[in-house]
Amino acid sequence: MSDNFFKFMTRRRFLGASAGVAALQFIPYEAWSAEEKQLNVYNWDTYIGETTLPNFTKQTGIKVQYDLFGDNEEMFAKLKAGNPGYDIIVPTDYMVEDMLTLDMLETLDHSKLPNMSHLDKAFLNPAYDPGLKHSLPYMWGTMGYGYRKSKVKGTPDSWSHILENKDPSLSKRMSLLSDQRAVLGGALKYLGYSMNSHSATEIGKARDLVISAKKDILTFAEDNGQDLLVSGEVDLCLEWSGDIAAVMADDSDLNYVVPKEGSNVWVDNLCIPKGAPHPGNAHTFINFLHDVEVHMEIANTIYFATPNASAKAKMSADYTENPAVFAPADVLSRCEAILSVGDDARLYDEAWTAVQAA
């Protein structure tokens, strides 16, 4: 299939607008058949539906090579020196911003993403990528406490519960995340500062607070706080909303709360990295993930909050009314996105090393 074919099909698709919407849906697959039927996806662990990938392959004939990363930085490190062949990556808001600055993301062709129309309009113009030119929101969530109701007295709705623990029975029964911006950010919020502080004094105060809290902390968990909670290793952990919501579904003694001082709210995004070998298939995949039925299955599996308004409208109440999925609006209004702090990242790094070494 040559370039001429591609151009021809594109022109036909343009003309075909009058030929009816149904036909239009199919033409993009035809147009991209110039690409081999292969797609290399690099996603977070436990971040997709159970049938999503097989159904995608069944529907499009495109084989999916699916790799996992544990955090944004791991993904960034792998792409920093050049894209090793990924077509789809799922960076969080601040990472999208950094990758855009470094010109690491392809421009999305919105005409190939008709399912964009399902997006809640609150997500259409984020500060990190105005107009969603290079990214499409996939899921969003908050950071908060997962806790065991029978072991924690009352509702631990403040950062003080973990940073200034008064309950001796919770000593060494709590875990923080092994994430410098998240943990120092929580301490900054508790002290009344911004999560994205550039002030060495403020970050220093947050560092001292976390160091003094360490005597009651069991470990800095590698995004497996929910496992520690389920296995009874801790009674309270700092985690991402959906990770706790997913285990809450199996254990009614578990609950999730966002500290009232405010916490982190984030959006993960579907992006195509520069140098992607199959950009056509990547567009097909992004569009597929926002198909209402497909998206509902994903949301029902991973329990993160969806930016897809059409899918949300069709979801059941135990998802849409679940505070572990959608945090209450007043708490959410005090939450912040983690932003790139540029050269001041070193302040956070040094504070974090001090926390670890203390």
Q: Catalog residues that contact another protein under the rule CB under 8 A.
A: 71, 73-74, 76-77, 80, 98, 101-102, 172, 179-181, 214, 217-220, 222, 231-233, 340, 342-343, 345-346, 348-350, 352-354, 356-358
User: Nearest distance from residue 316's CB to another protein, in Å?
Assistant: 33
Count CB-CB contacts under 10 A for residue 38.
14
Of 173 and 295, CB closest to another protein: 173
- Please give the angle made by the CA atoms of 2, 286 and 139, to the nearest 5 degrees: 165
DSSP state for residue 119 in the 8-state scheme? B
Q: Which is nearer to another protein, 23 or 345 (CB)?
A: 345
Alpha carbon distance 178, 222 (integer Å)? 5
Distance of closest approach, residue 78 Cβ to another protein, in angstroms:
11
State in angstroms the smallest separation of the CB of 177 from another protein. 11
Name the minimum Å distance from CB 233 to another protein: 5
Which helix (H) or strand (E) segment holds residue 240: the answer is strand 236-240
Nearest to 24 by CA among 15, 33, 36, 32: 15
How far apart are CB 139 and another protein at their closest, in Å?
Answer: 21
Amino acid letter at 191?
A: L
Cβ closer to another protein: 97 or 261?
97
Nearer to another protein, 10 or 219 (CB): 219
**Residue corresponding to tokens 């392959």:** 57
The minimum distance between CB 70 and another protein, in angstroms, equals: 9
Least distance (Å) between residue 292 CB and another protein: 36
Give Cα 17 distance to the centre of its chain: 35
Nearer to another protein, 9 or 234 (CB): 234
Instruction: Indicate the angle between helix axes 21-31 and 279-289, nearest 10 degrees.
Output: 140
Q: Name the minimum Å distance from CB 165 to another protein.
A: 13
Min dist CB 68 to another protein, Å, is 14
Evaluate whether 208 touches 190 at the Cβ level (below 8 Å). Answer: no
Which segments of the chain does DSSP mark as H helices, in order? 3-15, 21-31, 52-60, 72-80, 93-101, 160-163, 180-190, 200-213, 225-230, 241-248, 279-289, 292-302, 309-314, 317-320, 329-332, 345-357
- Complex with another protein: residue 50 or 74, whichever CB lies closer: 74
3-state helix, strand, coil in the chain (%, to 5): 50, 15, 35
Residue 83: CB minimum distance to another protein, A: 15
* d(C-alpha 176, C-alpha 108), whole Å: 36
Residue 314 or 346 with smaller CB distance to another protein: 346
User: In angstroms, rounded to a whole number, what is the distance separating the alpha carbons of residues 189 and 262?
Assistant: 6
Q: For the residues of 305-337, what is the DSSP string, one character each?
A: BP-BHHHHHHS-HHHHT-TTTS--HHHHTT-B-
- Nearer Cβ to another protein (11/346): 346
Q: What is the DSSP letter of 289?
A: H
Shorter beta-carbon distance to another protein: residue 273 or 280 = 273
Of residues 57 and 340, the one with the C-beta less far from another protein: 340
